[in-house]
Amino acid sequence: MSAPLAIASDHAGFELKEELKKALARLGVPYEDLGTHSPESVDYPDYAKKVAEAVRDGRAERGLLVCGSGQGMAMTANRYPHVRAALAADEEGARLSREHNDANVLALGGRVLDPAHAERIVRVWLETPFAGGRHAGRVAKIERE
Positions of E strands within the chain: 5-9, 31-33, 63-67, 85-87, 105-109
Burial 100-112 (b: 16+ CB within 10 A, else e): bbbbbbbbbbbee
What is the rounded distance in angstroms from the CA atom of residue 64 to the CA atom of residue 1?
Answer: 14
To which H or E segment does residue 15 belong? helix 14-27
Q: Catalytic site residues?
A: 67, 100
**At residue 9, what is the residue type?**
S
What is the rounded distance in angstroms from the CA atom of residue 68 to the CA atom of residue 16?
Answer: 10
What is the rounded distance in angstroms from the CA atom of residue 54 to the CA atom of residue 49?
Answer: 8
